[in-house]
Homo-oligomer: A and B are copies of this chain.
Amino acid sequence: MTIALSADSHSPSGNSPNHAALTAKAGWRGLIETYRPYLPVTDQTPVVTLHEGNTPLIPAPAIAAQIGRQVTVLVKYDGLNPTGSFKDRGMTMAISKAKEAGAKAVICASTGNTSAAAAAYARRGGMRAFVLIPEGYVALGKLAQALLYGAEVMAIKGNFDQALTIVREMSEHYPVTLVNSVNPYRLEGQKTAAFEIVDALGDAPDWLCIPVGNAGNITAYWMGFCQYHQEQRCTKLPQMMGFQAAGAAPFITGQPVAHPETLATAIRIGNPANWERAIAVQHASQGKFTAVTDTEILDAYRLLAAEEGIFCEPASAASVAGLLKVKEFIPSGATVVCVLTGNGLKDPDTAIKHSNNQLHQGIAPEMNAVAQAMGF
């Protein structure tokens, strides 16, 4: 059977649900099909998709209450992409274009999220996936994913920056396509998150708060907002507020960090690949880079879970930690979107280690014992 784009052939009886929503939901077939006119694809491009994108933009009233002054805060929960992070947005583009070019194998260096996305899309596209990781610094869930997706994972005795150097060399000397964020198609896919935010709000937000590691995502969001602005789909551009972990904050110190350290592993990067572009974004958007400590990141991480019901990975919480850190500078009545780049399930160890909540164990299996443990 054919999968219809519209479900409107039946007339509803009685009360009528939101038919626009139903129809559109039915039609969601991933970023490339939805935003095709804005992306460098043609009818010849084989679309490798897991129906990524279309992630929720969720109001965050508890965070807004900490700011006050009629500020609206929403989080773009990109951890609900198919492999659990925003990386899927770029990977559907990079892998589709690699397949179009005839590639049989792809390679990337990754602290985790990129490896999972590369593996999933490469395998779905019928390609081999080689992944280089820095040994010892990758969260459990991420490694589990890459392996199960069928990636050939290699752990080097070095850091992320060394891994990135090697995969660049590999792609020059061997028949493997590089799918790190230096691959230009990655940023093309990632920019669609900005499209989705504008589509949801009806305009661009006043501030976009975003974690910054390799600085690809802040660059991509800005590309997206600018493109939509040129197309008159939004009337303004946001100030881009980038947040780095204090132990891996080259944009604040002004120079590469030789030994970056933070528990937010996804942004533990000392020498961002998109350095110049990120600085250009900051200037063009009248934005700012700010460092947040691991303590501030963990506080935001717990706040998001226990007050908003949203479980993100530690690096993602940097956007909320940063927002709260600079909240005095937010214009009254502004709309702020915080980007949550990854799913908290990627890193269960951090959740267990840094939860303030207690597990009551060894309770006898009968009501009175349970009631007593509950404090009744």
Interface residues, chain A, CB within 8 Å of chain B?
1, 3-7, 9-18, 20-28, 33-38, 50-51, 54, 56-59, 72, 77, 80-84, 119-121, 123-124, 130, 132, 135, 140-141, 143-145, 147-158, 162-163, 166, 169-170, 173-174, 195-196, 198-203, 231-234, 301-302, 305-311, 333, 335, 343-346, 348-349, 351-352, 355, 357-367, 369-371, 373-374, 376
Contact = CB atoms under 8 A, between A and B. Distances in A.
Given A17-B36, A17-B37, A147-B357, A154 B308 contact: no
Contacts of A33: 18
A178 B101 CA distance: 56
B307 A123 contact: yes
Contacts of A233: 7, 10, 12
A363 B306 contact: no
Nearest to A7: B199
Given A141-B348, A357-B153, A361-B155, A35 B17 contact: yes
Nearest to A122: B309
**Chain A interface mostly:** mixed
Given A20-B20, A50-B310, A157-B362, A3 B147 contact: no
A169 B370 CA distance: 11
B50 A58 contact: yes
24 contacts: A1-B201, A1-B333, A3-B202, A9-B202, A10-B232, A14-B231, A22-B195, A25-B196, A25-B199, A77-B82, A80-B82, A120-B311, A123-B307, A135-B361, A144-B349, A145-B311, A147-B351, A148-B311, A149-B305, A152-B358, A153-B359, A157-B362, A158-B365, A343-B345
